[in-house]
Amino acid sequence: MSNMDRRTLVRGSLAAMMAGAAFSRAAFAQSSEPILLGVSGPLTGPNAQYGTQWKQGFDLALDEIQAAGGINGRKLAYSFEDSQSDPRQSVAIAQKFVSDSRIVMELGDFSSPASMAASPIYQRGGLVQFGFTNSHPDFTKGGDFMWSTSVSQADEQPLLAQYAVKRLGLKKLAVLHLNTDWGRTSRDYFVKAAKEYGADVAITEGYIAEERDFRSTLVRVRDANPDGLILISYYSDGALIARQARQVGLKQTICAASSVYSPKFLELGGEAVEDVHLGTRYFPEDPRPEVQKFIAGFKKKYNGQEPDAFNAYAYDAMNMAAAVVKIGGTDRRAIRDAFPKVKDVSSVIFGTATFDVETRRVKGAMNAELVVRKGQFALWDGKPT
Amino acid sequence: MASWLDYTINGLIVGNVYALVAVGLALIFGVSRLINFAQGSIYLVGAYIGWVAVVQLHTPLPLTIVVVAVAAALVGLIIERLGLRPLQNSARIAPLLATIGISFVLDQLVMLTFSPNPRALPSQLPDVRFQVGNGTIGLLDLLIAGVGLTSALLLFVFLRYSKLGWAVRATAQDRDAAMQMGVDVNRVNQAVFGIAAALGGVSGMLVGMYYNQIDTAMSLQATLKGVVAEVVGGAGNVPGAVVGSLLLGLVESYGVAVFGTSYRNLFAFLLLVLVLVLRPNGLFASARQAPPEPLTGTFIAPSRPLRIPRWALAVAVGGFAILPLFPVSFYVLQTLINAWLLGMLALSLTLVAGTIGQVSLGHAALLAIGAYTSALLSLSLSVPVGLAVIAGGLMSAALGTTLISPSFRLRGHYVSIATLAIGEIVSLVILNWESVTRGPIGISGIPPLSLFGYDLISASSVYWFSFAVMVVLALLQGRLLTSHLGRSFRAIRDDDIAARAYGLSLNRYKSLAFIFGGFAAGVSGAIAAHLYSYINHETFNTQQSILALTVVILGGLGNVVGAILGSVALVGLPEVFRIAAEYRILIYGIVLLLLVRFRPQGLLGTI
């Protein structure tokens, strides 16, 4: 009986794979069909939370795009394939998207190993890979089909250094950073900028993403005797570090990168994140109309939930994709050629976004200097903490 | 000097946290000789039940603890009844795989119910903190320590002085004899799983409160650290698990103190390897005590392999070889390329795990060594890619065998744990040895595969290349298995004392197996590196090692065709289930469990 089971199983799975292949070949884009974008990102696995945040941002943007009449009368839609941020799966997804003629461009993946492993396939297959969280400096060097709206760390970190050193007057810094390609690149830019502004970096400590316990790291930090802590972290690890810093008796000013900007940071950090300073790309009271529209729309759609940085990246990315498809149509090469042509797309992160043709990235992210006051993000009023 | 006091206290605090998981693992190992990979998932379930109780139902702390303990114990009982009891008469490796499948299912269920976003789990204790050294400790630290120590003490007393405890120990020593003496072995197992799960659930909740944070990724980390602590203390030794945990916490803390944060886990795993090599029974076993593993190789039960006629294999190979000539989508080809690459890894692992009985849980390290060697040679020294791939294989064979050689004297589960540690060490060395490996930035711009000056870029050519390499490796390995050498390997697996009595040098044969296996895995990693064009320390992670082991057990240990069939199945199934989106890994876990349940000797059986 087990023999039989196996045979049916193998046959069944092969049949399903073939059927899937046949389906994607048979389906040709028709004008009543929506214009389809492929998304490769984590929906399960250790990074699943970021995939769900992307979806929220995408869906909100799509609602607005559809309400405004879609793309020249056609709807815009996306097909989200779960990669678990695993390069083996992201390359398979890349082949799937490349051979699916309905897909006009691709968004993602989340982590650098998964995204950059798929880049050669997108490049050779002639499908744009639009990586909106890919800050790895080599991502867009993968070829002319790689474009990114990820805020370049070369731009962001000097702003944070300026906030910490020039504005808050910190002179001797301890830098704690995620030991990933993003954290490492960010650290290097930050340290360089901070030194240029005249501060001394007393110690830098890299930690792995799964780390939960930072008490010993913080003792090391304490012994270096800094007057400020810089966190190049995501919100969950950032909150952990802030809590444990207070527990081991560190009372120094904490200044964090914009990636901690999330209501979760406040929820997870509790009282310990009070008075944490952070630079962000937007904030709730930001008078810019695109920000107000984004925040109001997001809260309405998701039961009053506050959007965070990853929601905003995804929202912007979908709007950018719509703008590009509006110019480029549904031809894959025309879409690539449309990227340099889009000008001043309204953006939460950049204000208005225009691609730099050389780097295939966007420069000039907005900057706001926030501080946590009474459990809320507030614009920093210039008062010392 | 004051800092050393702080490091010591911090080490003890985090050791406390590890102890909670380690005690549960030790209890289960003590009775069923099983590393319960689902313990971390029960810990996760406990944390989320705690969240529901605290945040939604507003239960007071004592009631929360009771609710979590009861609910987690129920989960443990269900796991024991449905997942493990049906497997008690099959090969000992089957329950191990079952716990991996169960942990997939539990983690996914929690993720689907609660979303993967991290949540805050507020502590219900008053925020009173005591100044110790220059830092502070809170009431929760004391509660965690209290729960850890009390449960270890209670368990110790229970095992030593109660009747059920005697039954548990009797079952641990000799299951059959215990049954003959009228011990209800199933009830004992139930009791143990219930207790261990209750403890696991409560610890998940307490640790969640401690960090004010719970998320679905906490399960694997908890299991890893718990296993390390448990083995350091002596597998199956409950008080030892507590001491092992505290020691692990201290070593990590001092490691951070001396070398910096990014070296932290390196010390944890070095400690583990050191303990395993010097005192394989754990720190607290007397030197003359018999090892807890059986003396003969019942770890891998013999079974009648399914013979596949040669013509059928030839037809299958021929069919797959001409597949790209038909109008199949590149997606199918790419999926099969992944299957062939995993197949090479599985060939390697099925040789060392199945044929010679060294069940490795760190096989991804061999991929990484091959990948980095080939990538760096072709980038920095402009070695032609074809040669670089072969060099990757050779480096993996040489370096991998050297690294694993200290674990040659170990048996059974201990080999798995030692290789797990070695795998982690390799990954951490890659992360930290920046001058060579470029650390977390990784290596980008790796040239594509090429042979004799022709680039292999199209999906079909990569397909043919990887398929051909895999078939050649499989043929070599098939030839090896039928040779005198293959018989010697199996003799060592089935009974190493008898094999030694016949004059076989164990270390030499184990080295030979790892050299051959390391080459296959290294080539697989090297091809992957050139295919991806970018690798970093996360590309070849622990999950890959676990996947490879799953493939090998699924296909049938030592079975060459089984390894390849298993690879196609485990690469193909998640792709087939794509239609189910978020549910696909859940379905995959359930299918895996069903396969283990009905075919514990693997699809094609052990050779």
Residues of B in contact with A119 (CB under 8 A): 533-534
Give the per-residue pLDDT at B299: 57
Minimum CA–CA partner of B129 in chain A: A247
Hey, is the C-beta of B17 within 8 angstroms of any chain A C-beta?
yes
Residue type, A35: I
Checking if the pLDDT of B291 tops 70, the result is: no
Q: Which of the residue ranges A266-270, B139-143, B434-438, B579-583 would you say has the lowest mean pLDDT?
A: B579-583
List pLDDT tens digits, range B182-206.
Answer: 888 888 888 888 989 999 999 899 8
Restricting to B residues 327-366, those with a Cβ less than 8 Å away from any Cβ of A are: 327-335, 338, 341-342
Chain A residue whose CA is closest to B116: A49
pLDDT value of residue B238: 81
3-class DSSP string for A242-310: HHHHHHCCCCCEEEECHHHCCHHHHHHHHHHHCCCEEEECCCCCCCCHHHHHHHHHHHHHCCCCCCCHH
Partner residue opposite B431 with nearest CB, options A89, A179, A222:
A179
**Is residue A354 pLDDT above 80, yes or no?**
yes
**3-class DSSP assignment, residue A345:** strand
According to DSSP, residue B308 is labeled P
Nearest Cα residue in chain B from A11: B569
pLDDT tens string A107-145 = 989 988 899 999 999 998 999 999 998 888 888 888 999
Interface test with B, best of A216, A235, A311 (most B CBs within 10 A): A216
Q: What are phi and psi of A115, to 5 degrees?
A: -70, -50
B136, B440, B445 member nearest A184 (Cβ)? B440
pLDDT digits (tens, 9 = 90+) for A87-107: 889 999 999 999 899 999 999
pLDDT category at B286 given cuts 50, 70, 90 is low
Which residues of chain B does A270 touch, with a Cβ-Cβ cutoff of 8 Å? Answer: 120, 122, 212
Please tell me the distance from the alpha carbon of residue A192 to that of residue A199, in angstroms, as a whole number: 10
- In this predicted structure, which of B59-68, B249-258, B586-595 has the lowest mean pLDDT? B586-595
d(C-alpha B530, C-alpha B514), whole Å: 24
* The pairing of beta strand A376-379 with beta strand A368-373: antiparallel
Query: One fold for both A31-151+305-353 and A153-280+368-379?
Result: yes
Q: Residue A5 corresponds to which tokens in the numbers above?
A: 């089971």
CB B553 within 8 A of CB B545: no
Tell me whether strands A103-108 and A35-41 are parallel, antiparallel or unpaired.
parallel
What ranges do the domains of chain A cover?
31-151+305-353, 153-280+368-379
- Subunit contact A92:B111, Cβ cutoff 8 A: no
Summarize pLDDT for B357-375 with one digit per residue, the tens.
Answer: 888 888 999 999 999 999 9
- CB-CB contact of B385 with B449 (8 Å): yes
- Cross-chain CB nearest to A236 (options B135, B213, B328): B213
Q: Does B585 touch chain A (CB under 8 A)?
A: yes
Total H helices, total E strands in chain A? 12, 16
In chain B, the domains with their CATH numbers are: 20-220 (no CATH), 310-598 (1.10.3470)
How many C-beta atoms lie closer than 10 Å to residue B277's C-beta? 15
Looking at residue B85, what DSSP letter applies?
Answer: G
Q: Which residues in A lie closer than 8 A to residue B578 (C-beta atoms)? A: 20, 81-82
Would the CA dihedral through A257, A259, A261, A267 be positive or negative? negative
CB contact under 8 A, B212 and A270: yes
> Is A219 within 8 Å of B6 when comparing Cβ atoms?
yes
Say if residue B32's pLDDT is above 80: no
Closest residue of B to A237, CA-based? B213
Question: If you search the block for the tokens 């602590």, which residue do you land on?
Answer: B229
Q: Nearest CA to B466 among B383, B347, B606, B587?
A: B347
Across-strand partners of A352?
A: A346
Taking contacts as CB-CB distances below 8 angstroms, the residues of chain A near B439 are 179, 184
The CATH number assigned to the domain with range A31-151+305-353 reads 3.40.50.2300
pLDDT of B372 reads 96
Name the closest residue on chain B to residue A243, using Cα atoms. Answer: B211
Whether B532 sits inside 8 A of A91 (CB atoms) is yes
B588 touches chain A (CB under 8 A): no
Whether B582 and A43 lie within 8 Å, measured CB to CB: yes
Output the CA angle B157-B159-B160, nearest 5 degrees.
65
- The pLDDT score that the predictor gives to residue A10 is 46
CATH class of A153-280+368-379: alpha beta
pLDDT(B134) > 80: no
Beta-carbon separation of A222 and B134 below 8 A: yes
In whole angstroms, what is the distance from residue A368 CA to residue A279 CA? Answer: 6
Asked if B194 contacts B77 with a C-beta cutoff of 8 angstroms, the reply is yes
Chain A touched by B136 (CB under 8 Å): yes
Contacts of B371 (CB under 8 A, 6+ apart): B392, B525, B526, B528, B529, B535, B539, B540
Predicted confidence (pLDDT) per residue in A10-65, tens digit: 444 444 444 444 444 434 344 678 999 999 999 888 888 889 999 999 999 999 99
pLDDT at B2: 65
Determine contact, residues B348/B581, Cβ cutoff 8 Å.
no
Phi, psi of A274 (to 5 degrees): -55, 135
Give the pLDDT score at A29.
Answer: 42
Among the listed residues A329, A328, A346, the one whose alpha carbon sits nearest the alpha carbon of residue A337? A328
Question: pLDDT-based confidence at B477, cuts 50/70/90?
Answer: very high
How far apart CA A40 and CA A113 sit, in angstroms, is 13
Residues 6+ apart with CB under 8 A from A10: B569
**Per-residue pLDDT tens for A185-234?**
999 999 999 999 999 999 999 998 888 889 889 999 998 999 999 999 99
Interface test with B, best of A213, A246, A302 (most B CBs within 10 A): A213
User: What b/e sequence results for B501-511 when a residue is b if at least 16 CB atoms lie within 10 Å of its CB, and e otherwise?
Assistant: eeeeebeebbb
Helix (H) or strand (E) holding B173: helix B163-173
Note the Cα A310 to chain centre separation in Å: 5
- Taking only residues 515 to 554 of chain B, the set having a beta carbon closer than 8 angstroms to any beta carbon of chain A reads 528, 531-536, 538-539, 543
| Cβ neighbour number for residue B349 with a 10 Å cutoff | 27
CB A175 within 8 Å of CB A221: no
- b/e map of B226-252 (b: 16 or more CB within 10 Å)? bbbbbbbbbbbbbbbbbbbbbbbbbbb
Residue B13 CB partners (closer than 8 Å, separation 6+): A213, A215, B137, B141, B249
- What is the C-alpha separation between B46 and B280, in angstroms, rounded? 32
Share of chain A above pLDDT 70, in %: 91
Q: Which of B166, B181, B412, B158 is nearest to B280 (CA)?
A: B412
Calpha distance B27→B35 (Å, rounded): 10
**Is pLDDT larger for residue B603 or for residue B531?**
B531
Residue position matching structure tokens 């011990």: B183
Question: Considering chain B, what is the average pLDDT of its residues?
Answer: 86
- Indicate left, alpha or beta for B491 from its phi (over 0: left) and psi (-120 to 50: alpha): alpha
State the Cα–Cα distance between residues A322 and A71, nearest whole angstrom: 7
Q: Maximum distance among all alpha carbons in chain A? A: 76
Tell me which residue of B45, B213, B586 sits closest to A262, measured CA to CA: B213
Of all residues in chain B, the percent with pLDDT exceeding 90 is 28
- Measured between alpha carbons, how far is A360 from A358 in angstroms, rounded to an integer? 6
Report the gap between the CA of B457 and the closest CA in chain A (Å).
8
CA A57, CA B523: separation in Å to the nearest integer?
41
Which of A46, A98, A211 lies nearest to residue B330, judging by beta carbons? A98
Please spell the DSSP secondary structure of B508-540, one letter per residue: HHHHHHHHHHHHHHHHHHHHHHHHHS-B-TTTS
Q: What is the mean pLDDT of chain A?
A: 86
* Beta carbons of B351 and B493 less than 8 angstroms apart: no
Using CA atoms, how far apart are residues A357 and A343, in angstroms rounded to an integer? 12
Residue in B251, B279, B282, B275 with CA at minimum distance from that of residue B265: B251
HSE, CB side, 13 Å, CA atoms: give it for residue B181: 14
Say what the pLDDT of residue A30 is: 46
Strands A355-356 and A361-362: antiparallel
- pLDDT at residue B233 is higher than 90: no
Quick check: B118 pLDDT over 80? yes
pLDDT top residue among B130 and A61: A61
Contacts 24+ apart (CB under 8 A), A356-359: A359/A140, A359/A152
Alpha carbon of B463: minimum distance to chain A alpha carbons (Å): 13
Contact state of B120 with A267 under an 8 Å Cβ cutoff: yes
Query: Which sign does the torsion angle of CA A254, A257, A258, A259 carry?
Result: negative
Whether the upstream peptide bond of residue A308 has omega within 30° of 0, thus cis, is no
* Cβ pair A248, A222 in contact under 8 A: yes
Half-sphere exposure of B297 (CA within 13 A, CB side): 24
Query: Is the model's pLDDT at B295 over the cut of 50?
Result: no
Ordered DSSP codes for A40-104: EE-SSSTTHHHHHHHHHHHHHHHHHHHHTTTBTTB-EEEEEEE-TT-HHHHHHHHHHHHH-TTEE
The answer to whether A248 contacts B253, with C-beta atoms less than 8 Å apart, is no
* Cβ within 8 Å, pair B117-A52: yes
Alpha helix positions (H), B52-138: 61-78, 93-114
Residue B282 carries which side chain, given as an amino acid letter?
A: G
- Would you say residue B491 has pLDDT above 90? no
Which residues, including other chains, have CB under 8 Å from residue B341's CB and lie 6 or more apart? Answer: A88, B466, B524, B527, B528, B531
| Residue A131 C-beta-side C-alpha neighbours within 13 Å | 32
Q: For chain A, what is the radius of gyration of the CA atoms?
A: 22
Q: Distance between CA atoms of A325 and A332, rounded to whole angstroms?
A: 9
